Amino acid sequence: MRILLSNDDGVHAKGIEVLYQALSKIADVIVVAPDRNCSGASNSLTLINPLRAQQLANGFYSVNGTPSDCVQLAMNALIEEPVDLVVAGINNGANLGDDTLYSGTVAAASEGRHLGLPAIAVSLCSKREAHYETAAAITVSLIKELKEHPLASDQIINLNVPDIPFSDVKGLKVTRLGARHKAETMHSNEDPWGRKIYWYGHLGQEQDAGVGTDFHAVNQGYASITPLKVDMTAHESLASMDNWISAMELPFDS
């Protein structure tokens, strides 16, 4: 098996190194990751400036682009042999609920799916970075199961693991995405030259975090597994919207 490994925390992040070591025991792993932290980059692509890839002493490729850039560049330029799976992570922090819309980790995985490959996004649910090995071990077990139970062609797996020892994890829960309250307002300050600067506030508190959600599973000590798909169509609204659109008086030829 050949795995493309990327992330959004950057090529030097601890999480990608721990996951590389674990995945290397079961597969040939190629690492292509951003040269800096790209948290919150979502599915953005670098279209104006050229991309550059540098192979580091440890064999990892460092790219001056986003997580999505890294997957695209890896698949279309850097890797000649066929790849079987794309894995993104281990992210420093959770990617639960609404966070998935902004996550560069989830974006790297979905970019792999756009290119026709099964993909997994992996996140450790704290900023303490204490137990990356727990998330790595669960990822390896999950990959082994995917051989017998392949993903649907339009889906990726979003795996969130509590930052606790592996022996303390209660198990795996298949979940849906929860939701947060809106984030806190921007914090303002001044730079050394007296110019106004702004920082995003803290993430909003959990709003939809009941039984069955990814928030609930992680809060109870389980690893959360959520199948995600990119189709954002509100299918339940198609018929009603078609009805009122059809009733509108518009200057179009019928």
Short-list 114, 133, 134, 131, CA closest to 67: 114
The answer to whether residues 6 and 47 touch, using CB atoms and an 8 Å cutoff, is no
pLDDT bracket for residue 165 (50, 70, 90): very high
Short-list 169, 202, 10, CA closest to 92: 10
Look at residue 180 and tell me whether its pLDDT is greater than 80: no
The answer to whether residues 85 and 47 touch, using CB atoms and an 8 Å cutoff, is no
What would the two tokens of residue 207 be? 């709003």
What is the pLDDT, as a whole number, of residue 179? Answer: 87
Share of the chain above pLDDT 70, in %: 95
Largest CA distance in the chain: 67
Using DSSP's 3-state secondary structure scheme, residue 188 falls into strand
DSSP assignment string, 3-69: EEEE-SS-TT-HHHHHHHHHHTTTSEEEEEEESS--TT-TT----SSPP-EEE-TTS-EEESS-HHH
pLDDT bracket for residue 86 (50, 70, 90): very high
Strands 53-55 and 85-92: unpaired
What is the pLDDT, as a whole number, of residue 144? Answer: 95
Mean pLDDT for the chain overall: 93
For the chain, helix, strand, coil in percent to 5 are 30, 25, 45
The pTM for the full model equals 0.92
